[in-house]
Amino acid sequence: MSVKIAPSILASDFANLQKEIEMLNASETDYIHVDIMDGVFVPNISFGLPVTEAVNRHAKKPLDVHLMIVNPDQYLEAFKNAGAAIISVHYEACTHLHRTLQAIKQLGCKAGVALNPHTSVELLKDVINDIDLVCIMSVNPGFGGQKFIDNTYAKVKRLKEIIFEHGATTEIEIDGGVNKDNAPMLRAAGADVLVAGSFVFNSSDPIQTIKALKSIE
Ligand code: DX5
Ligand code: ZN
């Protein structure tokens, strides 16, 4: 199975979103990564439900919604209705993570958990069989275009072991600062899904860039 590519539309041209989504539809994109920031959990505001709905009207690929918000439980159903196929909540924003994961699944979505750089993958051991996707943040969430944190490789390797030890089918996604230089090492460490924002959208030929990432062994 080849690595999955999830371009983050945070780095796309918001004034030409339809064109950007059509470009992704025509590419080897696996998931469209949708970054929701509330200005409370993270020090930035991106966009919310109406924009997600508008993206979904044109998208032919599943929406991978990354909620960087406090009280995510309050918005799960709304994001499902806006078109989310995968909903990832932050470990740091959930007091009752197990309950939140069940609520996401009851809506018919895949359930994801995102971890900030300081949060250990060991904390997911007891719920790993309930998680469809773990999003390991390789930057501090809030902004695109940041530098990749090298400790991520060790986290990916350890999480892969935990998944194996528990016989789980959880996918490992990496989010932040992904580019052609670190992608092969992330893949070798056990990454299943690579999010890429600025590396894709700031390139001169995003379709080719997605293809190049996708072809990583
Ligand atoms: C960061 C977001 C990322 C971001 C990735 O808070 O969760 O998805 O858009 O952008 P790049 O690839 O530019 O680091
Ligand atoms: Zn993200």
Average pLDDT over the chain, rounded to whole? 98
Q: Say which of 38, 64, 130, 175 is annotated catalytic.
A: 175
| 59-82 per-position pLDDT tens digit | 999 999 999 999 999 999 999 999
> pTM above 0.95?
yes
Please give the distance, rounded to the nearest whole angstrom, from the Cα atom of residue 78 to the centre of ligand 1. 23
**CATH number of the domain within which 170 lies:** 3.20.20.70
Degrees to nearest 5, angle at CA 154 with 148 and 159: 110
Percentage of the chain exceeding pLDDT 90: 99
**Taking 90 as the threshold, does the pLDDT of residue 109 lie above it?**
yes
Degrees to nearest 5, angle at CA 13 with 110 and 30: 30
How far apart CA 107 and CA 73 sit, in angstroms, is 12
How far apart CA 71 and CA 89 sit, in angstroms, is 9
Give the domain range for residue 27: 4-214
The residue assigned the tokens 């970054």 is: 35
Query: For position 1, what pLDDT does the model report?
Result: 87
Q: Ligand 1, residues 67, 139, 140, 182: which to mutate, most atoms within 8 A of Cβ?
A: 139
Confirm whether 132 is a catalytic residue.
no
| 179-188 per-position pLDDT tens digit | 999 999 999 9
**Taking 90 as the threshold, does the pLDDT of residue 202 lie above it?**
yes
Query: For position 217, what pLDDT does the model report?
Result: 85
The residue assigned the tokens 């780095």 is: 11
User: Residue 164's pLDDT band (boundaries 50, 70, 90)?
Assistant: very high
- Please say whether the beta carbons of 187 and 180 come within 8 A: no
- The residue-averaged pLDDT of 1-27 equals 98
Query: For position 50, what pLDDT does the model report?
Result: 98
Quote the ipTM score: 0.98
Confirm whether 130 is a catalytic residue.
no
Q: Ligand 1, residues 40, 140, 143: which to mutate, most atoms within 8 A of Cβ?
A: 143
Number of domains observed in the structure of the chain: 1
184 sits in which H/E element:
helix 183-189
Question: In the numeric block, which tokens belong to residue 132?
Answer: 């469809």
The per-residue DSSP string of 113-134 comes to EEE-TTS-GGGGGGGGGG-SEE
Point out the ligand 1 atom lying closest to the alpha carbon of residue 142. 6
